[in-house]
Every structure is written in C-alpha cells, then in structure tokens.
Amino acid sequence: MRASSWCFGLGLSVCLASVGCAQDSLGDPTGATCPPNSTLTYESFGKAFFQANCLECHASKESPHFNTLEDIQAAKDEIDRAAASGPNATNTYMPDDGDLSDDDRKKLGEWLACGPK
C-alpha cells in the first residue's frame, strides 16, 4: 500500500508519526457549506459517486475503505481535503487519475458539508 493512501485512511497525525508523510499530502478544507435546499443524499449522489470514482481502489478491508455510508462519514474531513471543492479550495489529490469534473467536486463538497446523509 502506498504511504499516501495509508496516510489518508489513518488521518494525518497518525500518518506523520508512523511513516513520515509530508504534512501537505492533502489539500486544505474546502469551506463547502450545506445549502438549505440541498437535494444531495447518499442515495441520490453519494453512493453512485463513490462507486464510480472511489471503490475501484477503496473497497477493500484495508484503510481507507468506503464500503458504507458510515465509512464515508468517518472520513469526511479527509475526503473533503482530498477530492472536494468549495469556496476556499479545490482539492484534486483523489481520484488518482484526476478524472473528476469541477461540478462533481463541488457536489461532493456540498454533500459532505450536509452530513453526509
């Protein structure tokens, strides 16, 4: 497993102490907010988003994995700093192939800011 993937799954502080990853391996918090009229839910957005963009690499029992909504909720801050977009930052660390539209990154940031639910 790459050190950067291991860092992402365990959180930056554990990573720094364990394998010496660069502190800036993830981006900044996006500052995305949850608008009162958001329609993004796990069923309407999150599930398909993670199936299409994340589960090829993050469906195993190794960390990080995003098999369930609970897995995603537990890592939402790291996901925000790896792949989401908002007014303060657009993070492109994930997916590895970088093939994710700005619109999808903004939706991810919104959905994470709303719960995710």
pLDDT at position 65, please? 84
**Which single residue is written with the structure tokens 């993670």?**
50
22-75 pLDDT per residue, tens: 345 899 999 999 999 999 999 999 999 999 999 888 887 766 889 899 999 999
pLDDT at position 116, please? 86
pLDDT at position 88, please? 98
- Of 63, 75, 65, 82, whose CA–CA distance to 116 is shortest? 75
What does pTM read for this prediction? 0.78
Contact predicate 64/116, CB 8 Å: no
* Displacement of CA 99 from its chain's centroid (Å): 14
77-103 pLDDT per residue, tens: 999 999 999 999 999 999 988 789 999
DSSP letters of 62-97?
SSS--SSHHHHHHTHHHHHHHH-B-SS-B--S-STT
* DSSP class of 57: T
> In this structure, which amino acid lies at residue 79?
I
